[in-house]
Amino acid sequence: MTYKEYLQVLKEHSPYDFSEYSDNSIFRRIQKVMRDHKLTLEELGARTQSDKFFVEEVVEAITVNTTELFRDPDMWRYLYEKQLPLYHNNNVINIWHAGCSTGQEVYSLMILLNELGMLDKARVFATDISQKSLDSAKKAIYKHQIDKGCIENFSQVFKNTDGVEKLFSKYFDIDKKTDIISVKPFLKDNIKFVRHNLVENNLPFYNKMDIIFCRNVLIYFNSRLQNRIVQRFFDVMFSHGTLVLGAHEGLSGFFKTKFDRSGPVYKKSNVFHFRY
Amino acid sequence: MKIPEQRFKIVVIGGSAGSFSVVSRILSQLDPAFPLPVVLCLHRLKHVRSGLVEGLNMKSNIPVVEPYDKDKLKPGVAMLAPSNYHLFVEFDSTISLSTEEVNNHSRPSIDYAFSSAAYSFREKAMGIILTGANKDGAMGIKNIHEKKGYTIVQDPSTCDVDAMPQAALKLFTPDQILKPDDIVKILNGLKA
């Protein structure tokens, strides 16, 4: 059996379709599952056909991803200074975090909105393929973030080194000894966490979006699937909506003309496009 | 030192501690018309995330870029794995990035980059491991060797820190063990 054939088995015997994921990165992850469970590809295929719970475990293992509070501080600084204030006169700001993983960036954005006095305008949908990740995101208790440099990120975003500890403790209960931080409940009020697989064509809400975050998620997909998903983002966004991708993700082909680059983010273009 | 007869489609270079000066030396002596795509996977200090690509470009005879996801490899262009991402080379000569867990305390992981090149390009891949402080990269270059690609390990006696070359040499015997100037001679002898 080849990896491609295994992905076909997975597609036929589960709700999950990984056939349009980037080959080498998905293969490596399947290899890891094989190693961890000491299975050959054939055995993995057989178990995938017969054991629903095992399939969920495999899916968790191959979709697991890392995220940080304020990863890429310059981008967050830009949102804070230049983008989010544009929504100041909105009554409601609809935000979709597509592929939110364990939620650190969902809360990063809530912190910025609160600092701008806009927190109660936010209506946030945070979606992910992994129930386990969503559960962690809801719980919002994070380990080893301080070790990973979240306080440095924080002070870079707010250009504030003296008061940064105070600012940080406004949003987190902190146990420095164990390096465990938990998000204070008031940040969680307007967030809906919903399980959703971006590969599928449905959407878990009816709203149009002002801001879509999809950071370091599209990198796992091949270009064709990426373009399909970006088209969906385009369709579900208000004009002038803001699309926030990862630092090394770009828009390809004709999407380059449908979005305008603004610093590190993309704005839905308002220009009328002829279709030839 | 013998220049390999076989034709390659990609050269991947990995290193960590001390590798900046070696990589710049190699890039500064490379033929400006170097005919193959190059992938550079270098460990960086966590909190010094910028400046590497600019630094390398100042010395290099070929352009050095940090690719975006799904960018295509280009002959005569060195693609440097962006900080805080893993880099994979795909079958269609595009780059895929990933933010999954660190491997051997490293992101980018040299093992991941090299293994993907081995898997995608098999005997058409050349892998070079330079000076470095941990074992990340050893498994990856062994994968290139197993797929009949060409492997070069920097002579440990010329390394600032030889843990990475030594880890590779423990796993298999590469085609050549060379000092940096001879690595350049090999590269400049390669044809498209």
Query: What residue segments make up the domains of chain A, in order of their start?
Result: 3-63, 73-268
> Please, what's the b/e burial string for B7-45 (b: 16 or more CB within 10 A of its CB; e: otherwise)?
ebbbbbbbbbbbbbebbbebbebbeeebebbbbbbbbbe
Q: Is the pLDDT of residue A275 over 60?
A: no
Active site residue B86: no
Annotated catalytic residue B71: no
Question: Which residues from chain A sit within 8 angstroms of residue B89, using beta carbons?
Answer: 24
| Residue of A3, A25, A226 best to disrupt the B interface, most CBs of B under 10 A | A25
Residue-wise pLDDT for B23-70, tens only, equals 999 999 999 999 999 999 999 866 555 688 999 999 999 999 999 999
Domain count, chain B: 1
The CATH number given to whatever domain includes residue B117 is 3.40.50.180
Domain region containing B159? 10-188
ipTM of this model?
A: 0.88
Indicate the length of chain B as a whole number.
192
**Does the pLDDT value for residue A47 go beyond 70?**
yes
As a whole number, mean pLDDT of residues A93-117 equals 97
Q: Which secondary structure element, helix H or strand E, spans residue A239, and what is its range?
A: strand A237-245
Which A residues 20-79 touch B at CB under 8 Å?
A: 22-25, 27-29, 64-67, 71
- Greatest C-alpha distance within chain B: 42
**For the domain A73-268, what is the CATH superfamily, name and number?**
Vaccinia Virus protein VP39 (3.40.50.150)
Mean pLDDT of A136-142: 97
Decide if pLDDT at A69 tops 70: yes
| Range scoring the smallest mean pLDDT among A225-229, A252-256, B120-124, B173-177 | A252-256
* Mean pLDDT over the full length of chain A: 93
Angle at A196 between CA A55 and CA A35, to 5 degrees: 30
Pick from A43, A61, A54: nearest CA to A14 = A54
Task: With CB atoms and an 8 Å threshold, state whether A23 touches B91.
Answer: yes
User: Distances from the Cα of A77 to the Cαs of A92, A170, B76, in angstroms?
Assistant: 22, 19, 36
Structure tokens at B41: 């996977």
What would the pLDDT profile of A177-225 be if each residue is shown by its tens digit? 999 999 999 999 999 999 999 999 899 999 999 999 999 999 999 999 9
- Model confidence at A111, in pLDDT bands (50, 70, 90)? very high
Residues near A92 by Cβ (< 8 Å), separated by ≥ 6?
A: A121, A123
Domain assignment present for residue B3? The answer is no
Q: What is the mean pLDDT of residues B90-101?
A: 94
Rounded CA separation A242/A247 (Å): 15
Distance, CA of A1 to CA of A83 (rounded, Å): 49
Judged against a pLDDT cut of 60, whether residue A49 lies above it is answered with: yes
pLDDT given at position A273: 58
**Do A9 and A54 form a contact (C-beta atoms < 8 A)?**
no
List of chain A residues whose C-beta atoms are within 8 Å of the C-beta of residue B85? 216, 219, 248
Residue B2 domain-assigned (yes or no): no
Answer yes or no: B160 catalytic: no
Predicted local distance difference test score (pLDDT) of residue A165 = 87
What is the rounded CA–CA span in Å between residue A50 and residue A264? 46
Query: What phi and psi values does residue A262 have, to the nearest 5 degrees?
Result: -135, 100
- Report the sign of the C-alpha dihedral through residues B144, B148, B154, B155, in that order: positive
Whole-number Å distance between alpha carbons of A192 and A185: 14
Q: What is the mean pLDDT of residues A241-266?
A: 92
Distance from the Cα of residue A260 to its chain's centroid: 21
How many Cβ pairs within 8 Å bridge chains A and B?
73
Give CA–CA dist B81/B66, Å, rounded: 6
What is the residue-averaged pLDDT of chain B?
A: 94
User: Using 50, 70 and 90 to split pLDDT, how confident is the model at A272?
Assistant: low
Whether A179 and chain B come into contact, CB under 8 Å, resolves to: no
Per-residue model confidence (pLDDT) at position A148: 81
Q: How close B89 gets to chain A, by Cα (Å)?
A: 7
pLDDT of residue B36: 98
State which H helix or E strand residue B115 sits in.
helix B110-121
pLDDT of B1 reads: 78
Whether residue B75 has a cis bond before it, omega within 30° of 0: no
Residue, of B17 and A5, whose pLDDT is higher: A5
Q: What is the mean pLDDT of residues A89-104?
A: 97
Q: Which residues of A touch B97 (CB under 8 A)?
A: 216, 219, 246, 248-249
**What confidence tier does A254 reach under pLDDT thresholds 50, 70, 90?**
confident
Question: Rounded to whole angstroms, how far apart are CA atoms B77 and B192?
Answer: 13
pLDDT at B41: 97
Distance, CA of B7 to chain centre: 17
Mean pLDDT computed over A83-96: 97
pLDDT tens for each residue of A141-151: 999 888 888 88
Domain assignment present for residue B160? The answer is: yes
Across the interface, of A22, A29, A226, the residue whose CB is closest to B90 is A22
